[in-house]
């Protein structure tokens, strides 16, 4: 049989091509045959983008497939990635939740190219639930090996998580604290990487002695300790603002 994952010179799969040419019936047949939602093409477009190009004719097939038949497939990283590019924020949230809930092997998630998209979703300030789920999924990824942490840092996770420390959502802020603590606790190199992104001031704001959110105090204290430990010691100027709090 034909390789349904094969790509043309533009990086398009047969499913993408069927979407682009407006053939809903072929899309339906390819989905039934097990065609993967797959990775983006060379221009970063997904099967959902191609479906939307056809004024909804094909997109309706894609949408029904994911909503009615495909959520169980979100245990597979390739399906997760495609759904993270779904135009509907609720579907993106389901995909991010699948990463942290089903806990597929971290390296499989990274290999599928999921990390950059999860980091992009951290900027969705109008959808705090989506931010929270993306942050939680990334927190699980940076709880892995040093190689897993490095892969996320390379994609720019530290500045994005630092920005989330100013989120109006308590849940989002706490998840960012946890992720940054995981990264800082990985190694001296990663500790300094986090410190060099001016994380200390927004982190210290989470240590409000009047808060009733004990879990935030616990996680922020743990993250702070990770930023202040290790040999060689961290640059004093970077940790000095923490002295009054400590």
- Whether the pTM exceeds 0.85: the reply is no
Q: What pLDDT digit, counting tens, does each position of 185-208 carry?
A: 999 999 999 999 999 999 999 988
What is the model's pLDDT at position 206?
92
CA distance 97 to 89: 12
Of 1-10, 128-137, 149-158, the one with minimum mean pLDDT is 1-10
Q: What is the mean pLDDT of residues 109-124?
A: 90
Confidence of residue 55 (pLDDT cuts 50, 70, 90): very low
């Amino acid at each position: 049989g034909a390789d349904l994952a094969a790509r043309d010179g533009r990086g398009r799969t047969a499913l993408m091509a069927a979407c682009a040419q407006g053939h809903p019936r072929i899309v339906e047949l390819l989905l039934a045959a097990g065609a993967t939602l797959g990775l983006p093409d060379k221009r970063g477009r997904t099967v959902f983008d191609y479906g939307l190009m056809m004024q909804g004719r094909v997109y309706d097939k894609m949408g029904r497939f994911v909503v009615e038949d495909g959520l169980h497939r979100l245990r597979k990283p390739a399906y997760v990635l495609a759904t993270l590019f779904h135009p509907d924020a609720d579907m993106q949230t389901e995909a991010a939740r699948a990463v942290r809930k089903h806990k597929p092997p971290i390296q499989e998630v990274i290999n599928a190219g999921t990390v950059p998209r999860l980091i992009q979703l951290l900027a969705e300030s109008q959808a705090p639930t989506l931010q929270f789920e993306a942050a939680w999924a990334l927190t699980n990824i940076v709880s892995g090996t040093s190689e897993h942490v490095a892969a996320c840092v390379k994609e720019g996770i530290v500045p994005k998580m630092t920005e989330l420390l100013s989120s109006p959502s308590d849940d989002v802020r706490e998840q960012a604290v946890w992720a940054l603590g995981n990264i800082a606790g990985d190694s001296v190199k990663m500790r300094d990487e986090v410190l060099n992104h001016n994380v200390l001031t927004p982190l210290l704001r989470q240590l409000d002695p009047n808060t009733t959110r004990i879990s935030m105090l616990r996680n922020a204290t743990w993250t702070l300790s990770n930023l202040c430990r290790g040999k060689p010691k961290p640059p004093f100027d970077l940790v000095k603002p923490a002295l009054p709090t400590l």
